[in-house]
Chain A
Amino acid sequence: MPTFDDIQNQRDAELLARFSNGDRAAAMDLTSRLAPIVFAQAFRILGDRTESEDVTQESLVRLWKAAPDWQANRAKITTWLYRVTLNLCIDRLRKSNRNSGDVQEEVVDGTSSAERNLQTTERLQALQGALQTLPPRQKQAVILRHIEGLSNAEIADVFGISVEAVESLVSRGKRALASTLAPQRKALGLEDDR
Chain B
Amino acid sequence: MTDKDLKFPPLHDRELRLLFDAAQQAAPEINAEFLERLQAQALGAVPRKGQLEFTTEKPSLFRRLSDVFTQRGGWLTGAGLAMAMVFGIFFGLNPPEAVLDVTTVYFQTESLSGFVGLSEEMGLYIGNT
Q: Do A and B bind each other?
A: yes
The contact string, 1 if C-beta is below 8 Å from chain B, for chain A 21-65, is: 111100110111001100110011000010011001100110011
Summarize A's interface: helix, strand, loop or mixed. Answer: helix
Asked if residues B45 and A39 are in contact (CB atoms below 8 Å), the reply is no
Once bound together, how far apart are the Cα atoms of A40 and B6, in whole Å? Answer: 36
Contacts of A24 in B (CB 8 A): 43, 46
**A188 in contact (CB, < 8 A):** yes
Contact of B10 among A32, A35, A179 (CB under 8 A): A179
Question: B74 → chain A, closest Cβ, in Å?
Answer: 29
Contacts of A1 in B (CB 8 A): none
Contacts of B45 in A (CB 8 A): 27, 61, 64-65
Asked if residues B14 and A108 are in contact (CB atoms below 8 Å), the reply is no
Within 8 A of A (CB), among B75-117: none
* Residues on B facing A (Cβ under 8 Å): 6, 8-20, 22-31, 34-35, 37-39, 41-43, 45-49, 52
* 28 A-B residue pairings within 8 Å (CB atoms): A22-B46, A22-B48, A22-B49, A27-B43, A30-B42, A35-B30, A36-B35, A40-B30, A53-B31, A56-B34, A60-B38, A64-B42, A64-B45, A107-B26, A107-B28, A108-B29, A121-B26, A123-B19, A126-B19, A127-B19, A146-B16, A146-B17, A146-B20, A181-B19, A183-B8, A190-B18, A193-B18, A194-B12
Closest 6 CB pairs of A and B: A22-B49, A178-B10, A182-B8, A64-B45, A123-B22, A27-B42
